[in-house]
Structure 1
Amino acid sequence: MGFLKNFFTNVYEDVEQKPAPMHSSFDSLSEEELEAHLGVSRYGDFQLSDAVRPSYNLEVVPRAGFRHDVYRDEESRSDVPVVMAAASKENLLDTFMSLLEPLGPVVDVVLETSHSSGGGGHTDLYREHIDMPILQSILWDFEELLTNDGCTGVAVLNPRTPQEVQLDEHKLLIVYGNELTAYEGVLIDHHVDCDEEIRFITEAEHVHSTTERYIQEFAELKMRLGMDGGL
């Protein structure tokens, strides 16, 4: 029951934060069926982290790859190019760290948390002007949290470019900004290839996982980065 408790005792489920679908894939499952599904982390050569699990009927089968998209910035009324990617767990944080390199030597960082959201919403904590080597060293110290906690996300940005690299709560890698060729090259170097037809776990029903230990580690990470507020 240990793994199951991570999901349904210490969990914030996207399927509860939104209007419930008419037919949830988790309806009418026995506890044994549910635990067996949540215990599956490998799909072919792709391994999910402990942060999230797909729907029981596997509307989206997790796999590695990236595609191009567009984010509509309503404030500036402009379209921002986006690259969205999924990387297997064993390559996830290393790929994220490599994606940070093109941002430059000094960046801003945002921590996103939904630990205390009470079933919806996020809190963003912001730190300006941190040297990239220092930031990367701190993030490596919290590799397990960043990889496996479904209520923690981190974004690193260079407002002068402007470009942003995000490792979100679903453990998707998202890059925003113009001139993203360098980031695409990083993904390919880490065996995350372009597939414009790929679908991500966020595009179907899914559940997130967290634990009390991750909540404590998030507070430590926030302190190491010199951030106030939040938890």
Structure 2
Amino acid sequence: MGFLKDYFTNVTDEAQAPSRQLSSFDRLTEEELEAHLGVYRYGSFCLSDAVRPSYDLEVVPSAGFRHDRYRDPESKSDVPVLMAAASRERIMDTFMELLLPLGQVVDVVLETSHRAQGGAHTDLYREHIDMPILQSVLWDFEDLLVHDGCTGIAVLNPATPQEVQLDEHKLLIVYGEVLTPYESILIDHHVDCREEMKFITEAEHVHSTTEEFIDQFEELKMRLGMDGR
């Protein structure tokens, strides 16, 4: 029951609204549920502990990236986007290398949905941090960043403008007009272009967190000099 407790204490199921329809998890026995949540390997692809797909595997987790576009609600312009999924053993190395094209001084946003209701989250902002210092701090919190389903981080250079995210689902997301350097980094880390691929966010899924991760998040926030919640 320990594993189940980790998954359903402070858990976010984004596919379920207050008046939700029947979930694929609702019909399961406790044994079936525990067995499903214990699966993290799908072929050669391994999920982190942060998230699990629906029981019926509407989307089978896999590695790859595709191109997309984000509609900026303020400027009304379309921003090119790379969306990528890397196997758990490659997530942190890939993320760290994706940060390098942003430059030597960046801004950081931490996202948290710990103890939040209805998919809400809080963003915490830190401006002007040297990249080597940021990366040193983030390596100290690798376990939190890779395995906590209620922590996300974005690093950006407003002067470019470009942004790299490692979100709560442990997807790698890059925003910006010039994406070629990031494409090369992904391919170097065995994350290949698959324009037809689907991501775990595009179907029912559950997030996981623990009290230990909540404490680690507070420490990371302090190390990055971020105030409040």
Provide TM-score, normalisation by structure 1: 0.97
For residues 17-46 of structure 1, the C-alpha deviation after alignment (integer angstroms, 9 at most, x for no partner) is 46523x421121100000000000000000
Q: Quote the residue 1:223 is aligned against.
A: 222
**AA of the residue aligned to 2:35:** A
Q: Quote the residue 1:85 is aligned against.
A: 84
Q: How far apart are 1:220 and its partner, in Å?
A: 0.1
* Alpha-carbon separation, structure 2, partners of 1:203 and 1:118: 20
1:120 aligns with 2:119: yes
Q: Quote the residue 2:5 is aligned against.
A: 5
* Alpha-carbon separation, structure 2, partners of 1:17 and 1:140: 35
Indicate the RMSD between aligned Cα atoms, in angstroms.
1.0
Q: Secondary structure at the match of 2:15?
A: helix
Q: Quote the residue 2:206 is aligned against.
A: 207
Would you say the 8 A contact 2:10–2:114 is kept in 1?
Answer: no
Alignment size in residue pairs: 229
Q: Quote the residue 1:146 is aligned against.
A: 145
**AA of the residue aligned to 2:160:** T
* Alpha-carbon separation, structure 1, partners of 2:11 and 2:74: 33
**AA of the residue aligned to 1:202:** T
Q: Quote the residue 2:181 is aligned against.
A: 182
Q: Quote the residue 1:103 is aligned against.
A: 102
**AA of the residue aligned to 2:207:** H
Would you say the 8 A contact 1:154–1:168 is kept in 2?
Answer: yes
* Alpha-carbon separation, structure 2, partners of 1:177 and 1:114: 26
1:58 aligns with 2:57: yes
Query: For residues 157 and 216 of structure 1, do their structure 2 counterparts lie closer, same or farther at Cα, with a shift above 3 Å needed?
Result: same
**AA of the residue aligned to 2:14:** D
Q: Secondary structure at the match of 1:140?
A: helix
Q: Secondary structure at the match of 1:15?
A: coil
1:16 aligns with 2:16: yes
For residues 119-160 of structure 1, the C-alpha deviation after alignment (integer angstroms, 9 at most, x for no partner) is 431100000000000000000000000000000000000000
Would you say the 8 A contact 1:17–1:120 is kept in 2?
Answer: no
Percent of aligned positions with the same letter in both sequences? 76
For residues 197-220 of structure 1, the C-alpha deviation after alignment (integer angstroms, 9 at most, x for no partner) is 010000000000000000000000
* Alpha-carbon separation, structure 1, partners of 2:61 and 2:44: 10
Q: How far apart are 1:118 and its partner, in Å?
A: 3.0
* Alpha-carbon separation, structure 2, partners of 1:220 and 1:66: 32
Unaligned runs of 5+ in 2: none
* Alpha-carbon separation, structure 1, partners of 2:18 and 2:152: 20
Would you say the 8 A contact 1:146–1:152 is kept in 2?
Answer: yes
* Alpha-carbon separation, structure 2, partners of 1:42 and 1:195: 20
* Alpha-carbon separation, structure 2, partners of 1:58 and 1:189: 28
1:192 aligns with 2:196: no
* Alpha-carbon separation, structure 1, partners of 2:123 and 2:184: 29
* Alpha-carbon separation, structure 2, partners of 1:66 and 1:6: 29
Query: For residues 77 and 119 of structure 1, do their structure 2 counterparts lie closer, same or farther at Cα, with a shift above 3 Å needed?
Result: closer
For residues 54-97 of structure 1, the C-alpha deviation after alignment (integer angstroms, 9 at most, x for no partner) is 00000000000000000001210100000000000000010000
Q: Secondary structure at the match of 1:16?
A: coil
**AA of the residue aligned to 2:167:** D
